[in-house]
Amino acid sequence: MIPGAYRWPTVVCCVLSGLGLVACSEPPPESWSGYVEGDFVYVSAPIGGQLDRLQVRAGDRVKHGDALFALDAQAELAARGEATARWVAAQAQAANTDKGRRPDELAASRAQLAQARAAAALAQAAWRRQSELVDKGFVSKASLDSARAARDQSLARVSELQANLRVGLQPARSDERAAAQAQAEAQNQVLRQAIWRLEQKQQHASVDGQVAEVFFSEGEYVQPGQAVLSVLPPGGIKARFYVREDEIASLVLGQSVSLRCDGCGQAVAATVSRIATGPEFTPPVIYSNAQRAKLVFMVEATPSAGDAARLHPGQPLDVQRLAGGTP
């Protein structure tokens, strides 16, 4: 008899019993590999310049409206000053068209008119005397013609000065006033542009969040539209994972999934917020050698704001479907 042969039936029975238990147990839930993705807010200025002040550091918490950084603004300050001066000048010119002449100028015009009237009266009297002398034959008709011309000239001078006085009492013509007002408005818009450009040199936080990265140091030149830093808002955390083509039909928007990561403790609940409309042939990051499908669909799930604080961008995730998670 072979030693230990009596044990083989027992071993076989145990193995068969174990296989039976495995066969009767529930299959493991579907699981996908993924990672944490962050929707960062990249803060930049539409106007370039040297980074003058950096008012935050990576890791700082910021609130909406907090100052983040400032670029050198000497040129913009000068442009605003010039635009302000031009606007003031245009406003003064527009206001001047609504007024008549100054009181002293009007007084001078009235004095000239009085002189012209006196001269006209004298010329009128001289013409009458010459008429009487011509009738009596004491002077020639040429002398009368000269007196008549002097009278007409003095009367025309009176009419001229009267018209000038009326013009001096009136504002400029309507077309001139409209042109002056339009010029003042144009300078006002130039000033607004100068103020806007100056304001863009100082950037503030548009959302609450945490400063993730700072890409420049003070003294460096920043190109227009180039991000100086990035901010991660509280709702900017999401899970991104990849599902095989034969499994994608079982996922729908609003479905609940659980996220597990190293050191995260209890699983994080999340809701499927996006399913890609087209497939990809290779996911950008694969953390599991078990995923060999070439045709996959990208899926995103969003955790609650409280649970999002436990996750960090770039962190590997294991994603599972929650039972009863289909809406």
CA 195, chain centre distance (Å): 13
State residue 88's pLDDT score: 94
Per-residue confidence band for 282, with pLDDT thresholds at 50, 70 and 90: low
Q: What is the pLDDT of residues 47-88, one digit of tens each?
A: 999 999 999 999 999 999 999 999 999 999 999 999 999 999
Q: Is the pLDDT of residue 197 over 60?
A: yes
Which amino acid type is present at position 279?
A: P
What is the spatial distance between Cα 287 and Cα 34, in angstroms, rounded to a whole number? 7
- Residue found under tokens 């400029």: 172
- Mean pLDDT over the full length of the chain: 82
User: In this model, does residue 322 exceed pLDDT 70?
Assistant: yes
pLDDT for 99: 67
pTM score above 0.85: no
Please give the Cα distance from 322 to 327 (Å, whole number). 11
Instruction: Taking residues 205-234, report their average pLDDT.
Output: 95
pLDDT mean over 222-226? 95
Rounded average pLDDT over 115-128: 82
Question: 307 CB contacts (<8 Å, ≥6 apart)?
Answer: 268, 269, 270
pLDDT exceeds cutoff 50 at 23:
no
Instruction: Determine contact, residues 326/255, Cβ cutoff 8 Å.
Output: yes
- Residue 199: pLDDT over 60: yes
Decide if 302 contacts 284 (C-beta within 8 A).
Answer: no
pLDDT of residue 178: 86
The contacts of residue 139 (CB under 8 Å, 6+ apart) are 130, 133
